[in-house]
Amino acid sequence: MGKKFNIIERILLNIIKYKISDLFSKERSLLLYENAIKPATNSPYKTWPDPEKIPLGGELPFSLRNIIAIGKYVRSCISQAKLSIESLKFNPSNPKPKISKEELSEFENYAKSLGVGAIGYTKLPRELIFQEKAVLYDNAIVLLMEMDKDKLSKAPSLETFKMVFQTYDRLGRITNKLASYLRENGYSAHPSPALGGYVLYPPLAQKAGLGWIGLHGLLITPQFGPRVRISAIFTNIENLPFSNQNTHSWIQEFCRRCRKCFRTCPAGAIYEKPIIHESGRETHIDASKCKPFFVTHYACSVCLKECVFNYNNYETIKNNFFA
């Protein structure tokens, strides 16, 4: 927070502030849509990034070196987030309410051909929608994309930082492309971008049966461990194969015993006992400790790197756990 910036850096920080403020304004406009699904009274606020704090240097891992490395990906992520709203005008006026198994299979194959690693389906609880945000449908298609394992192993580093934003950008583009695909086939779609988004992604993906939230607050999956970024498409399709069970709940007890992320977090930001928020939501992350280190160390990612699911096979861990 006490870092001094030169004139060029201050100009760039204010440009970022403006672009994010403009994006948040567009997102709030969704509240005005007829039949928009709005957050519950106990839904969380989206506390990062705070545009007003960006020029002070305490919100983003900012430096000219960082901006040169990831600037184009950040700009693209913001553009894709705006497109997710602007593209809503292309939703069909009389969308088809149901999808055949063959069409859904074709959609999934197309998604995976683009680079999506896993897909799940669930109904969206209003409690997961951020305050001051809204979505148009509560039928959720949840998309996962794997992050590069070798580059993650170098965290915290500029190379890891760049890879994370490349993944955000790629998944954001794919999410909008898949929403367009659904519209072209007669369905309505509201894409939720990979970076940002309108909802809490880890619990949504957990509800879709794609994995379980670890002690570090991030989704652990059988395919990729915690090396995933998440996006969603909210759609009018009412007969999606919604998940009604989750076979990964054993991870919660495993994390209680393991606690490696707790022991290796360089900021000491992960607690053994949960923090109970006003909404009743439980987390183990102290943002007041996490964010300063996040800002000064290339968005950190050490908890992902050190998670045993990152470098060990899921089934092997599970079999040893139940042995």
Give the position of tokens 């987030």: 81
- In this structure, is residue 181 part of a structural domain? yes
What was the pLDDT predicted at 3? 63
Domain region containing 41: 7-235
Q: How far apart are CA 86 and CA 78, in angstroms?
A: 12
In a domain, 146, yes or no: yes
Q: How far is CA 170 from the centre of its chain?
A: 13
Task: Provide the percentage of residues in the chain whose pLDDT is more than 70.
Answer: 98
Between 52 and 207, residue with greater pLDDT: 207
Instruction: With respect to residue 201, please indicate whether it lies within any of the assigned structural domains.
Output: yes
Q: In this structure, is residue 263 part of a structural domain?
A: no
Look-up of token digits 């992050």:
147
Q: What is the pTM of this model?
A: 0.94
Q: What are phi and psi of 198, to 5 degrees?
A: -100, -10
Residue 57 lies inside a defined structural domain of this protein: yes
pLDDT of residue 81: 95
pLDDT of 307 above 70: yes
Residue carrying the six token digits 């959720």: 140
Measure the CA angle with vertex 133, ends 132 and 139; round to 5°. Answer: 145
Nearest alpha carbon to residue 31 among 23, 39, 20, 22: 39
Strands (E), 36-83: none
Picking from 131, 288, 114, 286, the residue whose alpha carbon sits closest to that of residue 217 is 286
pLDDT of 9 reads 82
pLDDT exceeds 90 at position 50 = no
What pLDDT band is residue 253 in, cutting at 50, 70 and 90? very high
Q: How confident is the model at residue 10 (pLDDT cuts 50, 70, 90)?
A: confident
User: What's the mean pLDDT in 103-113?
Assistant: 98
Name the token pair of 256: 């209680």
Domain count, the chain: 1
Nearest to 251 by CA among 187, 183, 314: 314
For the purposes of burial, counting CB atoms within 10 Å of the CB of 158, is it exposed (0-12), middle (13-18) or buried (19 or more)? middle
For the chain, the average pLDDT equals 93
**2 has a pLDDT exceeding 60:** no
pLDDT in tens, 169-207: 999 999 999 999 999 999 999 999 999 899 999 999 999
pLDDT of residue 278: 67
Select the more confidently predicted residue: 284 or 274. 284
In a domain, 63, yes or no: yes
Which of 28-37, 118-127, 152-161, 281-290 shows the lowest per-residue confidence on average (mean pLDDT)?
Answer: 281-290
Does residue 276 form part of some domain?
A: no
Confidence of residue 239 (pLDDT cuts 50, 70, 90): very high
Residue 279 confidence (pLDDT) above 70: no
* 277 part of a folded domain: no
Which of the residue ranges 105-119, 140-154, 218-232, 272-286 would you say has the lowest mean pLDDT? 272-286
Mean pLDDT of 61-83: 89
